[in-house]
């Protein structure tokens, strides 16, 4: 899975990275979907232990351009996990109230507690992405935020939080197809946001901003993975694999009872 | 006022610092109280401008041993300020829910928004004080927190937060008098907490923990002040002076109207 890991401080050029599935992958689409489903069930079992153990907090961050598949990936990776142990936090445009606080205020409120998986659908990274591309703040403000973000994530990690960050990588052509299908398909009309078409015109600037995000904020304690996402089935397979692998290695186990009721017979 | 400022990275030995009022002070107790009252009213005016301007966030942190006068100081310094613009957050022993998150989670939720003064009566510093003295966490955990605290406060400062931190410094003898008066005065019985008497036995360890707090976390962007607090009137005078001075220097002003109604006559 290291193929998709961004090493700390490595220079990233997303335009040189394939957004299609790895040609070395031996299976078919159907086999990938089947394997993903099997791992989904394992994820559910692992989360059940995490919830019982109440030791680790798990934070999964999803970022990507419009139509890169964040909603779909979250559904397909976590759809089999007990909803009691998983919480999805969506970060849209900040409200007036949120804007009157520091940029991490609304984020920090939603981080996971012990035994919980929290998924961020967009996140504090928007404050160095959209804020940068749309010139919402002067450069010195958003540039400082890379360090503030790393410090914040380091603090969370030191307080028993496992952090994984997924950038869903699609090609400009794949985005075109998906946005067009929203226009053509009445059941997808509700998803249309004229801003997406405007943002598409700034494709290159967004990619450049993402290059910096990946370069400056992929750390040992909160690594980024660039997930090839033109094929949804491949995207789901890779994310589920990385996540399951990580949770397996945590060697979680059910705690023993706090009480000694060995052999007690309930009458 | 620099007399009471802790310079960044300076070694502090609280036992060598007087907790009584500065002998060079020329006025009487009555004059000090009168002056404090005048500055209280100025604080109210300055806060009114801060509130109109909606530019700065102001965070005031109070720390000190039991009976050092945190409640009294907050009342006497901020009692004349419009309650709409001031919010006092008390941080007692963390709840089970709070303990299931990182140590800054409950703190971050209470930081000030634009135009607001927030006062912390105890704070995240308890997580490197009581946690240390009572051995609630291993040393490597709380030691790392000095850096996490500095990073957190730096982030707040970069997001337009003015931070001032007051350590209320009393002598061991003054604490004895005050705790005894709680025992002797029926109207103060409700304040008695047996833990205070136990903590008093660990006086030296608390002072040592405070020495480290002052040394490691007094920064340009979030300075500590050691306030001589054996005399309540002197304590209030100094805190009010430092605060008023700081707010004056911010050169806040009422914003002009967003609309041009110059000379408009309301009929």
pLDDT digits (tens, 9 = 90+) for A62-90: 999 999 999 999 999 999 999 999 999 99
**Inter-chain contact B111–A105, Cβ cutoff 8 Å?**
yes
| Cα–Cα nearest to A151, from B153, B143, B113 | B153
Q: Within 10 A of A104 (CB to CB), how many other CB atoms are there?
A: 23
Which of B53, B85, B108, B118 is most worth mutating to test chain A (most A CB atoms within 10 A of its CB)? Answer: B108
Contact partners, residue A190, CB within 8 Å, separation at least 6: none
For the record, the structure tokens of B15 come out as 């036992």
Show the CA angle centred on residue B255, arms to residues B250 and B256, nearest 5°.
150
Closest CA in chain A for residue B106:
A109
How many residues appear in chain B? 267
Note the pLDDT of residue A143. 97
- Taking the C-alpha atoms of residue A67 and residue B107, their distance in angstroms, rounded to an integer, is 36
**Inter-chain contact B100–A54, Cβ cutoff 8 Å?**
yes
Do A121 and A70 contact (CB within 8 A), yes or no? yes
Do B104 and B112 contact (CB within 8 A), yes or no? no
Closest CA in chain B for residue A158:
B141
- Three-state secondary structure call for residue A88: strand
- Which residues on A lie below 8 Å from B101 (Cβ)? 57, 111, 113-114, 159
Q: Over the stretch A203-225, which tens digit does the pLDDT of each residue have?
A: 999 999 999 999 999 999 999 99
Q: Over the stretch A132-191, which tens digit does the pLDDT of each residue have?
A: 999 999 999 999 999 999 999 999 999 999 999 999 999 999 999 999 999 999 999 999
Q: What is the ipTM of this complex?
A: 0.90
Query: Has residue B1 got a pLDDT over 90?
Result: no
- Taking the C-alpha atoms of residue B154 and residue B219, their distance in angstroms, rounded to an integer, is 9
Which of B158, B161, B219, B222 is most worth mutating to test chain A (most A CB atoms within 10 A of its CB)? Answer: B158
**Inter-chain contact A155–B155, Cβ cutoff 8 Å?**
no
Do B51 and B217 contact (CB within 8 A), yes or no? no
- Which residues on A lie below 8 Å from B152 (Cβ)? 151-152, 155
Note the pLDDT of residue A263. 86
Residues of B within an 8 Å Cβ radius of A: 54, 57, 97, 100-105, 108-109, 111, 113-115, 141, 144, 148, 151-152, 154-156, 158-159, 161
Do B56 and B161 contact (CB within 8 A), yes or no? yes
**Inter-chain contact B104–A108, Cβ cutoff 8 Å?**
yes
Which of A50, A101, A137 is most worth mutating to test chain B (most B CB atoms within 10 A of its CB)? Answer: A101
Do B22 and B228 contact (CB within 8 A), yes or no? yes
Q: Over the stretch B239-265, which tens digit does the pLDDT of each residue have?
A: 999 999 999 999 999 998 888 888 889
Note the pLDDT of residue A246. 97
Pairing of strands A224-228, B57-64: unpaired
- Taking the C-alpha atoms of residue A49 and residue A248, their distance in angstroms, rounded to an integer, is 11
In sequence order, what DSSP letters do the residues of B168-227 get, joined into one string?
EE--HHHHHHHHHHHHH-GGGGGG--HHHHHHHHTHHHHHHHHHHHHHHH--SSS-EEEE
| Residue A100 Cα, gap to closest chain B Cα (Å) | 5
**Inter-chain contact A102–B54, Cβ cutoff 8 Å?**
no
Percentage of chain B beyond pLDDT 90 is 93
Residue A54 exposure: Cα atoms within 13 Å on the Cβ side: 8
Which member of B54, B101, B155 has the closest CB to residue A104?
Answer: B155
pTM: 0.93
Which of A155, A162, A219 is most worth mutating to test chain B (most B CB atoms within 10 A of its CB)? Answer: A155
Q: Which domains does chain B have, with CATH numbers?
A: 2-249 (3.40.50.300)
> DSSP assignment, residue B5?
B
- Three-state secondary structure call for residue A168: strand
Residue B127 exposure: Cα atoms within 13 Å on the Cβ side: 24
- Which residues on A lie below 8 Å from B114 (Cβ)? 100-101
**Inter-chain contact B103–A152, Cβ cutoff 8 Å?**
no
Give CA torsion, residues A209, A214, A217, A221, to 10 deg: 160
- Three-state secondary structure call for residue B87: strand
For the record, the structure tokens of B155 come out as 């982030």
Closest CA in chain B for residue A106:
B109
Q: Over the stretch B127-146, which tens digit does the pLDDT of each residue have?
A: 999 999 999 999 999 999 99
Do B231 and B20 contact (CB within 8 A), yes or no? yes
- Three-state secondary structure call for residue A89: strand
CA B250 to chain centre: 19
**Inter-chain contact B109–A104, Cβ cutoff 8 Å?**
no
Show the CA angle centred on residue A187, arms to residues A185 and A188, nearest 5°.
70
Sign of the C-alpha dihedral computed for residues B8, B9, B15 and B17 taken in this order = negative
Question: First-to-last CA distance in chain A?
Answer: 52
């Amino acid at each position: 899975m290291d193929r998709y890991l961004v090493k700390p401080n490595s220079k990233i050029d997303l335009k040189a990275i394939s957004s299609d599935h790895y040609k070395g992958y031996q299976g078919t689409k159907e086999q990938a979907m089947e394997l993903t489903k099997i791992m989904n069930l394992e994820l559910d079992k692992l989360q059940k232990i995490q919830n019982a153990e109440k030791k680790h907090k798990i934070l999964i961050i999803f970022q990507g351009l419009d139509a890169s598949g964040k909603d779909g990936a979250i559904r397909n990776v976590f759809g089999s996990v007990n909803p009691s142990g998983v919480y999805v936090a969506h970060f849209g445009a900040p409200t007036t109230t949120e804007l009157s606080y520091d940029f991490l205020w609304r984020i920090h409120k939603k981080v996971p507690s012990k035994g919980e998986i929290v998924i961020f659908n967009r996140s504090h990274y928007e404050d160095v992405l959209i804020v940068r591309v749309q010139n919402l703040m002067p450069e010195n403000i958003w540039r400082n935020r890379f360090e503030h973000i790393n410090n914040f994530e380091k603090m969370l990690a030191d307080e028993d939080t496992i952090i994984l960050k997924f950038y869903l990588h699609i090609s400009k052509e794949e985005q075109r197809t998906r946005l067009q299908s929203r226009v053509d398909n009445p059941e997808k009309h509700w998803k249309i946001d004229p801003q997406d078409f405007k943002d598409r015109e700034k494709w290159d600037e967004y990619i450049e901003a993402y290059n910096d995000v990946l370069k400056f904020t992929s750390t040992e304690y909160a690594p980024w993975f660039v997930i090839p996402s033109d094929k949804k089935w491949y995207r789901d397979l890779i994310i589920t694999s990385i996540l399951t692998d990580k949770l397996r290695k945590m060697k979680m186990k059910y705690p023993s009872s706090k009480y000694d009721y060995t052999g007690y017979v309930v009458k």
